[in-house]
Amino acid sequence: MPAVDPTRFFLERFGLSTTGLDRVLGTAVARRADFADCYFEFRITQTASLEDGVVKKATRSVRQGVGVRVLADAQTGYAYSDEITLERLELAARTAHYIAEQRSETAALPVPGAPAAPHDLYAVTPAPIETPLADQIALLGRLDAVARAADPAITSVFAGVGIEHKVVLIATSGGLVVGDVRPLIHLSVTCIAERNGNRQQGSFGGGGRFAFGMLGDGRAERFAREAARQALTNLDAVPAPAGTMTVVLGPGWPGILLHEAIGHGLEGDFNRKRTSAFTDRLGTRVASELCTVVDDGTIANRRGSLNVDDEGTPTGRTVLIENGILRGYLQDRLNASLMKMPVTGNGRRESFAHIPMPRMTNTFMLSGQDAPEDILRSVDRGLYAVSFGGGQVDITNGKFVFSASEAYLIEGGKVGRPVKGATLIGNGPDVLTRISRVGNDLALDDGIGTCGKDGQSVPVGVGLPTVRIDGLTVGGTQA
C-alpha cells in the first residue's frame, strides 16, 4: 500500500465529493444539534500463526465503513454502515440527528480548543502490511527454533504475527478534515513446558507502529526467549501467599497497575457523571509525593500512540498526577465541553461502528531516585511481581485487580522462589499513597496492551519504574 492521502483515498474509493460530505454534515448538525462528524475507516488485518513448528494458518480481512455522530448537550446520536455511499451517509445522518430532535432549545456549547497540527509519529515505509507473507513465516520459524532451543522441556510453541493497516478520515461540522494512516504490528509467543507431569505456560509479545524490519533487530527473538523462560520458571513455582503484604513491582508492563488503579477512574466520562471514585478529587493528594503519572499519546512508534485521536484532536501529554497531587482528567470532545475543560486528545473508538469515549494512550509513572536492587533489599518479606496478565477495575468503588503471571517471594531482601500466578487487589484512590520507593528504571512495555471499555477494545501502552507498595492484597492459596 503506497503512502496515501486519507481524504483522496476515501473520496476516490467510494466516489464521494467534498460537497456531498458537507451536505451530509449539514443534515446531521441541522437546527438543534451542536456538532456532527463522520468517521471513515478502511482497515486490512493480516495474521499468520505457527504451531507444530510450521505456519499452517493465515487470515486476511478487510473492514470498511463510516460512522456519523451527532452531539446535542450530553446526547449522542450515532449511525454506522459498512456500505460507504452518499445515500447511506445521508440516511445515517438523518438517523443520528434524531437525538437533536428530542431537544427543546439549543444551548451552543463552546467548541473546545483551537485546532492544532497532527503529529507525525509513525510514517513507515514500506507499510508493514506490504511485508511478504514469506518473511513473516520465516520470522515465526526462527522464533519457534529459539524457544525450543531454550530447554528440552519446552514441548509446544505457538507464535503469531498480526499486521494492521488502518486508514481513517474524520470530517466535522466545524470544518475540520483530518486523516491518519495507522500501521500496527503485533507479535506473540506462547510456550508450554512439561516436566514430570507438571505443565506450565509462558507468554510474551510486543509490537508497535513501526516497520516489520524493526522486529528483526533481536527483539522478536527476545520475545521467544522470554516466553520460554517464563514457562520454565513456572515449572518450579510454589503456591502464592494469601493476604496483605509488601509488593514490589518490576519495571515496564506491571504499569498495568496505573492503567487499572487510576487511569480509568480519571477518564472524563466517569467524572462528569460523578460515578468515579476520583470524582471531585482534582488538586487533592491521591498518591505519595514520589509519584508523577502521565498519559502520553505522542511517543513515536508506540502501540498506544496516535497522530490524532479518533475525533481528529492531536494527541498530547497529560499530567494526571504530579508529585502525588491529582492534576488532570483524560477527555474526549463531548466530556471536555460539558465539563468546560480542555480536550486532551483521548477521544478514541475501536472502529467506525463505535462511539468515541475518553481512553488512555500510553500511561506511565516517571522515574524516581532509587536503584531497583535497593528497593528489593529494603523488603524483608513480600512479593516481587514482574509480569502480568490482564486487569480490571470497578470505577465506582475504586477496587481494581491485576493478575501476576510471573512473581517471586522476597525473603530477607532477596528474590526467592517463583510463585504461581495470583491476582492482586487494591483500592485505586488509596494504592498509590502506599508507594514508598520509586526506582530510577522507568521502562515502557513491549507493546502488547489492549484495553477494553464498554465493549470497545483499543491498543494502549503502559510503563513503570520499579516501585515498592506497602500493603497490597495478594490472592494466593497459601495462608
Partner 1 sequence: MLVERARAAGATAADALVAESDGLEVGVRMGEVEKLRRARERRAGLRVFVGASTAVVSTADLSPAGLAELAGDACALARATAPDEHGGLPDRGDLATDQPELTLYDAACETLSPPDALARAREAEAAALAADPAITNSEGAEFGGGGGQVAYASSLGFAGAFSSSTFSLSVVPVAARDGAMQRDSWWTVDRALARLDAPADVGREAARRTLRRLGARRVPTCECPVVFDPDMAASLLRSLAGAISGPALYRRASILLGRLGETIAAAGVTVVDDPLRPGGLASRPFDGEGVASKKRTIVERGVLASYLLDSYSARRLGLKPTGHAARGAGDAPTVAPTNFYLEPGPHTPADIIKSVPRGLYLTEMIGFGVNLVTGDYSRGAAGLWIENGELTHAVEEVTIAGNLLDMWQGITMVGNDLKFRGAVAAPTIKIERLMLAGA
Residues in 280-299 that interact with partner 1 by CB under 8 A: none
Nearer to partner 1 by Cβ, of 158 and 223: the residue is 158
x/- mask, partner 1, residues 15-54, rule CB under 8 A, reads: ---------------------------------x--x--x
Q: Which of 85, 427, 436, 456 is the binder for partner 1 (CB under 8 A)?
A: 427
Site for partner 1 in 205-234 (CB under 8 A): 234
Q: How far is residue 276's CA from residue 270's CA, in Å, rounded to a whole number?
A: 5
Q: Is 308 in the site for partner 1 (CB under 8 A)?
A: no
Q: Among 23-31, 189-197, 319-327, 342-350, which window interacts with partner 1 (CB under 8 A)?
A: 189-197
Q: Which of 102, 125, 284, 369 is the binder for partner 1 (CB under 8 A)?
A: 102
Q: Is 457 in the site for partner 1 (CB under 8 A)?
A: no
Site for partner 1 in 393-412 (CB under 8 A): 393-397, 399-403
Q: Is 243 in the site for partner 1 (CB under 8 A)?
A: yes
In whole angstroms, the minimum distance from the beta carbon of 118 to partner 1 comes to 27
In whole angstroms, the minimum distance from the beta carbon of 386 to partner 1 comes to 16
Site for partner 1 in 333-392 (CB under 8 A): 353, 355, 389-392
Q: Among 20-28, 195-203, 305-313, 365-373, which window interacts with partner 1 (CB under 8 A)?
A: 195-203
Site for partner 1 in 140-159 (CB under 8 A): 155-156, 158
Q: Among 88-96, 112-120, 163-171, 205-213, which window interacts with partner 1 (CB under 8 A)?
A: 88-96
Nearer to partner 1 by Cβ, of 98 and 284: the residue is 98
Q: Is 201 in the site for partner 1 (CB under 8 A)?
A: yes
Q: Hey, what's the torsion of the CAs at 304, 308, 310, 313, to 10 degrees?
A: 130
In whole angstroms, the minimum distance from the beta carbon of 106 to partner 1 comes to 16
Which grid coordinates belong to 464? Answer: 513503570
